[in-house]
Structure 1
């Protein structure tokens, strides 16, 4: 499926729903499409994936074993103009924190993603 036919995030909160759907589908390209070209993604080993190529590699590794992901509880979004801080409380007690940016077409993409702040 090419990224131009995937649903794009009309609201910052949509990104959290899309990530779970695409993780469970093993849709690596769909996952990468949720990020700005120069976005950063924190990795479990303390490293950071920078840019879509590194983010793609991280997700290829993550979905290889076909894990199942459950949606967490979306927390209230804090928005200031074209920036939004989103977070999700996970079932395991962890919390995700992301910074999304409104794109020129009005949709939202993540610029910074910290998927495991606590836990």
Structure 2
């Protein structure tokens, strides 16, 4: 079970939340990790822009209930209200994301590249 109402107090929390929500099939909880105008890179090379497109992408991804394994969080690089996050995936790939601090102090992703093959 996931707590999709839980907000990221640190940029690094987003990576943990995404795996929890993917494994729970929690599409709305996944969308809640992104700014309304965020962009998400898709496996086919396309881009999902905004909440509606990100919602459709995740609904398709979790439809068959795949299981996701957490990777190893890499050191976060911060510059004011921006943070560059990255996770080394168990299969050797890597993720790269840009998170932005929100007015309430929590963090949301603005840009998400969920898989860069090595």
Q: Same fold by TM (over 0.5)?
A: yes
The normalised TM-score by structure 2 is 0.96
Match of 1:70 in 2: 69
Structure 2 SS opposite 1:111: strand
Structure 2 SS opposite 1:68: coil
1:1-119 to structure 2, matched below 5 A, reads 6-119=5-118
Cα-to-partner distance string for 1:72-96 (whole Å, 9 max, x where unaligned): 0000000000000000000110000
1:117 deviation in Å?
1.1
Instruction: Structure 1 unaligned segments of length 5 or more: list them.
Output: none
Structure 2 SS opposite 1:23: helix
Structure 1 runs (4+) deviating above 6 angstroms are none
> In 1, distance between residues paired with 2:109 and 2:12?
11
> In 1, distance between residues paired with 2:76 and 2:115?
17
Instruction: Structure 2 unaligned segments of length 5 or more: list them.
Output: none
Structure 2 SS opposite 1:93: coil
